Amino acid sequence: MLNDAVQAQRTAEVLLKVEGLSKAFVAGKPVFADVSFTLARGEFVCIIGHSGCGKTTVLNVLAGLDTASSGNVFMAGREVTGPGLERGVVFQGHALMPWLTVRQNIAFAVKSRWPEWGRAEVSAQVEKFVALVGLTAAIDKKPSQLSGGMKQRVGIARAFCISPKMLLLDEPFGALDALTRGTIQDELLSIVRQTQQTVFMITHDVDEAILLADRILLMSNGSESAGRYLPGGIAEVVVNPLPRERSRASLHHLDGYYELRNHIVDFLVSRAVAH
């Protein structure tokens, strides 16, 4: 029996197609190999795996900031060969320009996206997204005057403010306290649902993936035993069977939640790193 999510995935328009990616920093020992998946337009996909399995590297290839050793990435049928404004990235480290204020960091992105906009339009857009991440009071501060969580929120505002077709998020909420994290997760969900944005997000947090993702890619680490090297890769794709209208508060009351959670945790504990 096909559930709704599987059915939706099969009939939806493919926005991003990843084919046979591998990346080797050391010849003959690729971090991962044969990574293939697609993202449907409007879909939210999370990827989970231990440190070092290559999640950030995959995301950087999708962003056009790194190249794969083999394989291809296509967005809306066109090969990705470099960064583009239709893909917004939130980096694991915030990657802000340290000499610019919060306002200027975000305005820089808005102006690159809409070079024809006047000063007032740019300001309004910047202020809207700074408010969204709760940083209005810090808008004229520089990154060095902000905490790690605040810098991460600037990175989120900067990626979201240009309304990219696709968001690539590398553990965007990792540095946030639980309360802020919850609020921003809710905001993210409501923005991407309204705008039909497609999201590829790396997270370490199983509950976060279950809350946000339509599908969850489980990624394994490369391993070596008896002199034989096995690259990492996508070990399994889990379709989230929970109703799409789920909320943080209701999550653990939903049928199927514990089964799904245990399945992912079991993967991380016993299968993600082959010995």
Ligand X SMILES: Nc1ncnc2c1ncn2[C@@H]1O[C@H](COP(=O)(O)OP(=O)(O)O)[C@@H](O)[C@H]1O
Shortest reach from residue 50's CB to ligand X, in Å: 7
Distance (Å, whole) CA 126 – CA 104: 9
Question: Position 217: which residue type?
Answer: L
Q: Which is nearer to ligand X, 53 or 102 (CB)?
A: 53
**Mask for 53-92, x = binds ligand X (CB under 6 A):** xxxxx-----------------------------------
> Whose CA is closest to 187, among 167, 215, 216, 206?
167
Q: Report if residue 56 touches Mg ion, rule: CB under 5 A.
A: yes
Shortest reach from residue 56's CB to Mg ion, in Å: 3
Shortest reach from residue 136's CB to Mg ion, in Å: 30
Residues 6+ apart with CB under 8 A from 217: 37, 45, 46, 47, 48, 234, 236, 237, 238
Question: Position 163: which residue type?
Answer: S
Q: Which is nearer to ligand X, 36 or 190 (CB)?
A: 36
Q: What is the DSSP letter of 2?
A: -
Q: Which is nearer to ligand X, 122 or 167 (CB)?
A: 167
Torsion of CA 44, 182, 240, 92, to 10 degrees: 50
Q: Which of Mg ion, ligand X, none sits in contact with 52, Cβ below 5 to 8 A by type?
A: ligand X
Q: How many other C-beta atoms are found inside a 10 Å radius of the C-beta of residue 59?
A: 23
- Mind giving me the DSSP string for 128-168? HHHHHTT-GGGTT--GGGS-HHHHHHHHHHHHHTT--SEEE
Q: How many residues bind ligand X (CB under 6 A)?
A: 10
Q: Which of ligand X, Mg ion, none sits in contact with 53, Cβ below 5 to 8 A by type?
A: ligand X
Q: Report if residue 51 touches ligand X, rule: CB under 6 A.
A: yes
Q: Which is nearer to Mg ion, 90 or 138 (CB)?
A: 90
> Whose CA is closest to 240, among 18, 46, 38, 11?
46
Distance (Å, whole) CA 13 – CA 29: 35
Q: Report if residue 103 touches ligand X, rule: CB under 6 A.
A: no
Shortest reach from residue 169's CB to ligand X, in Å: 12
Q: Report if residue 52 touches ligand X, rule: CB under 6 A.
A: yes
Q: Is the sign of the CA dihedral 132, 175, 146, 62 positive or negative?
A: negative
Shortest reach from residue 221's CB to ligand X, in Å: 8
Q: Which is nearer to Mg ion, 56 or 195 (CB)?
A: 56
Q: Which is nearer to ligand X, 24 or 251 (CB)?
A: 24
Q: Enumerate binding residues for ligand X (CB under 6 A).
A: 25, 31, 49, 51-57
